[in-house]
Structure 1
Amino acid sequence: MRKVLYILGNLSDEDIEWMARTGRRLDVGDGHVLVRQGQPADCLYIVLEGHASVDVAGVGVVARLGSGEVIGEVSFVDSAPPSATVSADGRCVALALNRRDIEARLRGDGAFAGRFYKALAIFLADRLRGTVDRLKHRPGQAMAADRIMEDELDEGLLDQVSLAGVRFDRMLRTLLGAAA
């Protein structure tokens, strides 16, 4: 869940409420493809429950994503087709945010655009650092979403973690019902 803290810690309460209202809750079973390698992605996903596997053609599974992970962010930023296929690994519940809806909000709200892209940049920087570190120490192994490296959280982000956790819990309650 800590990955979503990078995103939600940089967005406002209004941004989070907009995401929960605008996005759709997607509850899928094992093997359901969320993003297909080489094919344009029309949504950005936030995993709410369960896991998803990231598979690169010719390489195999390179990561297992869990609650709070974002899917489709790289293709959202650079508009290139996805470089991996991401599919549900067992039951998976995700918030699907339509690319067109996000782009419309980005065009219409400059403050949101700044917060959104900063959040994605921090998230991607963390993912890149984690990937490089894991490749240095564990070549050829899939990256577990729940493995926490000693230095993964930047001290500058710690102030936002508590607020982001509250925001994610609120989003889960909104999208998953009172049981979350």
Structure 2
Amino acid sequence: MRKVLYILGQLDDMDVDWLARQGRKRQIPAGEVLVREGMPCSSVFILLEGGVEVTIQGLGCVANLASGEMIGELSFVDSAPPSATVTAQTACVVLDVDKTLLAAQLARDDGFARRFYQAIAMFLADRLRGTVRRMGYGAGASLDSADVLTDELDEKLLDAVSLAGDRFDRLVRTLATARAH
């Protein structure tokens, strides 16, 4: 869950409101594929509840993701087809944000674009560190580990995490009032 707090901590309240208004809350049954390796995907997802498995052809399962993760962000950033398949392990709830709408908003609003891409950069950096660590190249902290906060307990970080928690709660409340798809 901490990852989504770092992402929402980079965005402002209007950005989160835009995501809640433009995104669709979707119930995903266990076993449904959200993203298929090599096939274009029209959405970026924020996993609100549940868990998914990430598999790569020829390698098998490379990750299990839980609430607070972003899915489909890499192929949004570089426009390449997804490099993995993401399948719901359990019943999930996601915020489904259409990539076309997101791209248009990023083009329209420079502030949103800066904050969004900064959040994505932090998120992808954490994923890369996790991959490097799993390959045995070092032992750094991830956004999910308690260690990441040990040396970073400054007021700006605490304020951002606190605001992000409030934004996540507001996002979930806003989506709860919208019709689930």
Between 123-132 and 79-88, report the one with greater CA deviation.
123-132
Given the alignment of the two structures, is residue 105 of structure 1 paired with residue 79 of structure 2, yes or no? no
Give the equivalent residue in structure 1 for 2:120.
120
Separation in 2, partners of 1:40, 1:153: 40
Distance change >3 Å, CA 107–CA 19, structure 1 → 2: same
CA distance, structure 2, for counterparts of residue 4 and residue 88 of structure 1: 18
Q: Contact conserved, 1:36 with 1:85, CA < 8 A, in 2?
A: yes
Q: When the two structures are aligned, how many residues end up with a matched partner?
A: 172
Equivalent residue letter for 1:48 = L
Amino acid at match of 1:150: D
1:37 equivalent to 2:37? Answer: yes
> 2:3–2:143: 8 Å Cα contact kept in structure 1?
no
Per the alignment, residue 130 of structure 2 pairs with 130
Deviation (angstroms), 1:152: 7.0
Moved more, 33-42 or 152-161: 152-161
Q: Which runs of 4+ in 1 moved over 6 A?
A: none
TM-score by length of 1: 0.88
CA contact (8 A) 1:56 1:84 kept: yes
TM-score normalized by the length of structure 2: 0.87
- State the match for 2:166 in structure 1: 166
- 1:103/1:43 CA distance change after superposition, 3 Å: same
Contact 2:73/2:120 (8 A) holds in 1: yes
- 1:24-62 Cα distance to aligned partner (Å, 9 max, x none): 011011111111000111100000000111011111111
d(CA) in 2 for partners of 1:108 and 1:23?
Answer: 17
Could you say what the CA RMSD is over the residues aligned between the two structures, in angstroms? 2.3
1:169, 1:135 → 2: CA distance?
35
CA deviation after TM superposition for structure 1 residue 103, in Å: 0.5
Answer whether contact 2:2 2:144 (CA < 8 A) is retained. Answer: no
Distance 1:153 1:86, change over 3 A: farther
Cα shift at 1:87: 1.1
| Overall identity of the aligned pairs, in % | 55
Aligned match of 1:60: 60
Contact kept? 2:35, 2:84, Cα under 8 Å: yes
Supply the distance in 1 between the matched residues of 2:149 and 2:176 (Cα, whole angstroms): 28
Closer, same or farther in 2 for the Cα pair 1:110/1:23, shift >3 Å?
same
Q: Please give the alpha-carbon distance, in whole angstroms, between the structure 1 residues aligned to 2:176 and 2:35.
A: 22
Residue of 134, 145, 150 corresponding to 1:148:
145
Aligned partners of 2:19 and 2:97 also within 8 Å = yes
Following superposition, the deviation at residue 154 of structure 1 comes to 7.1
Query: Counterpart of 2:8?
Result: 8
Say if 1:153 and 1:176 are closer, same or farther in 2 by CA, change over 3 A.
farther
CA contact 2:126–2:143 (8 Å) conserved in 1: no
